[in-house]
Amino acid sequence: MDKILKEEKELKELRKKIFLTGYKGGMAHLASCYSSLEILYAFYIKKALRYDCSNPKWADRDRLILSKGHAGLALYAVMAKAGLLTEEEYDSYLQPGSRIGGEPCLRDSEWVEATTGSLGHGLSMAVGMAMALKADRSPAKVYAVLGDGECEEGTVWEAAMSAAAFQLDNLVAVLDCNRIQKMDFVEKTMGMANWNEKWASFGWDVAEVDGHDVQALENRFRMPNESGMPCLIIAHTVKGKGVSIMEDNPNWHFKLPGKKELKVFREELGISDAELA
């Protein structure tokens, strides 16, 4: 119980940190950051992702590609907590002279594996990395975090076919399934896809998990792949998780709060006058 309470406190503090950083910077995809936060927390803080803090380019490290790059601020916040970015680097977000922007870029940090933000391409890069690691007989895995709206991009399915054809059992795609994309709910845009059946039909091994349950995510990420095929983990999440007016609301894809909305953020995230200033 103490462990769970500690994690809940840390996640709330991370949500506060992401908000304050985005608010100071003048832009952020807060809702997308909040839906994927537990996923990234399980990778970097719970260390379901294999990495060496002293060696960012360790050959046998696991690779993580944030294909839904608009959640980059969440990635950077978690990396900072894990000690992979300095607080000074993180706090420079969108400030003059900073390397840290709204979406991950290779120039930002040695820990960033791929420049993303143009949706649909992260999985293709992950396929290439997984093929190379197999050729090198490396034990490393490649993880790609995608959004469900992103799965309307055609290149996702070219990559999905390739991964299955080459039997890339060292590749894991994590689908942040929050049911909302930029303009509306996914089901109202291209029709609700049955992601489980669709990915399985492409030859992937598919699992589902509560995307806000850190322990469930950690257990799933650590589970050995015995299928011989690439794996998709469907993480069921709530877009805007942690702030009531953002949760499950398409209007918050790319938006900062106004004066009245700011009051809700401050109350629910525990933001003081000093912190806001």
DSSP 220-261: HHHS---SSS-EEEEEE--TTTTSTTTTT-GGGTT----HHH
Domain carrying residue 19: 2-276
Cβ-based neighbour number of residue 214 at 10 Å? 23
CB 165 within 8 Å of CB 198 = no
State pLDDT tens for residues 128-172. 999 999 999 999 999 999 999 999 999 999 999 999 999 999 999
What CATH number has the domain bearing residue 249? 3.40.50.970
Distances (CA, A) of 47 to 50, 113, 257: 6, 17, 33
* Helix (H/G/I), strand (E/B), else coil: 169: coil
Domain count within the chain: 1
State pLDDT tens for residues 4-60. 899 999 999 999 999 999 999 999 999 999 999 999 999 999 999 999 999 999 999
State pLDDT tens for residues 51-97. 999 999 999 999 999 999 999 999 999 999 999 999 999 999 988 88
